[in-house]
Amino acid sequence: MNPSYPEVAGRADHRCEYCRAPEVIFNFPFEVEHINPSSRGGTNELSNLALACRACNVFKANRLQAVDEGTGEAVDLFDPRRHRWEDHFSVEADTGRILGTTPIGRATVAALQMNVLRQLAARREWMRLGFYP
């Protein structure tokens, strides 16, 4: 396990810092993710680390930017250290869909595939059980 896991997970309140999945209902710890990937020179400083669920980490991979379908422009992905989640996303209460409310939010929702069927099905169960949002 990443040696920074306790600090990173505690700071994130044990939620994925991208989709806000609750770690408590998973049977394996969430991952310590490099916001600026190691492969691009990102450091192991706490300021470059975020807690991510497996799905968000896999789909983010080594990207820093993605295209906002609303404008067609490449924009920075959501950065949990620089941005506030509430400023870029909202959750649709009846469907569990995460809505990007800014270009950064929209590009991140699309790039991290936050609203594919499996994600929505899981998120609705978390909502039903009171773990989300």
Cα–chain center distance at 84: 12
Tokens representing 78 are 């959501």
Give the range of 20-28, 70-78, 89-97, 101-109 binding Zn ion by CB under 5 A. 20-28
Note the residue count of the chain.
133
9, 29 Cβ separation under 8 angstroms: yes
Residue 109 touches Zn ion, criterion: CB under 5 A = no
Give the range of 4-12, 19-27, 32-40, 76-84 binding Zn ion by CB under 5 A. 19-27
Contact positions with Zn ion (CB under 5 A) in 55-94:
56
What 3 state SS string does 41-61 have?
CCCCCHHHEEEECHHHHHHHC
Tokens representing 16 are 């994925």
Residue 19 touches Zn ion, criterion: CB under 5 A = yes
List the one residue from 12, 16, 66, 98 that touches Zn ion (CB under 5 A): 16
Give the range of 18-26, 33-41, 60-68, 73-81 binding Zn ion by CB under 5 A. 18-26
- Cα–Cα dist 64/62, whole Å: 7
- Cα–Cα dist 52/39, whole Å: 18
Residue 53 touches Zn ion, criterion: CB under 5 A = yes
Residue 35 touches Zn ion, criterion: CB under 5 A = no
Residue 9 touches Zn ion, criterion: CB under 5 A = no
Interacting residues with Zn ion (CB under 5 A): 16, 18-19, 21, 53, 56
